[in-house]
Structure 1
Amino acid sequence: MAVNIVDVIRENGVVGAGGAGLPTHVKAEATVDTVLVNGASCEPLLMSDPYLMEEEVDTMIRGLEAIMDCTGAGKGIICLKGKHEKAVKAVKDAVARDASGRLECFVLKDFYPAGDEQVLVYEVLGRTVPERGIPLQVGAVVSNTESLFNVARAMEGKPVTHRYLTVGGEIRNPMVVKVPVGTLVSEVLEFAGGPTISDYKVVDGGPMMGRVLPDTAQPVTKTTSGLLVLPPDHNVIAAKVMDPDKLRRITNTVCCQCSRCTDLCPRNLLGHSLHPHKLMRVLVNNELDSDIAKEALLCSECGVCEKFACPMMVSPREVNARIKRILMKERITWESKGNTLAANPYRESRAIPTKRLIQRLNLAKYDVHPGYAGEFTPESVSIRLGQHIGAPAKCVVSAGDSVSCGDLIGEIPEGAMGARVHASIDGTVASVDNGVVVIRK
Structure 2
Amino acid sequence: MYKRIKLENGIRVVCERIPYLRSVSIGIWVGTGSRSENPSNNGISHFIEHMLFKGTDNRSAREIADSIDSIGGQLNAFTGKECTCYYAKTLDSHADIALDVLSDMFFNSRFEEKDIEIEKKVILEEIGMYEDSPEELVHDILSETVWEDNSLGFPILGTRDTLFDINKDKIKAYMNERYLPENTVIAVAGNFDEDKIIDTIKEKFGGWNVSGKGSKGIENAEFKVNSKIKVKDTEQIHICIGFEGIAHGSDELYPLLAVNNVLGGGMSSRMFQKIREEMGLVYSIYSYPSSYRNAGLFTIYAGMNAEHLEKVVELIIKEIKTLIKEGISRDELEKSKEQLKGNYILGLESTSSRMNSIGKSEVLMNNIYTPDEILKKIDAVNLERVEQVIKRIFCLNKISFSIVGNIKKEIDIGKIIDV
Task: Give the TM bin, normalised by the shorter chain.
Answer: under 0.3
Question: What TM-score do you get using the length of structure 1 for normalisation?
Answer: 0.24
Q: Which has the higher contact order (CA 8 A, sep 6+)?
A: 2
Question: What TM-score do you get using the length of structure 2 for normalisation?
Answer: 0.25
Structure with the largest fraction of helix: 2
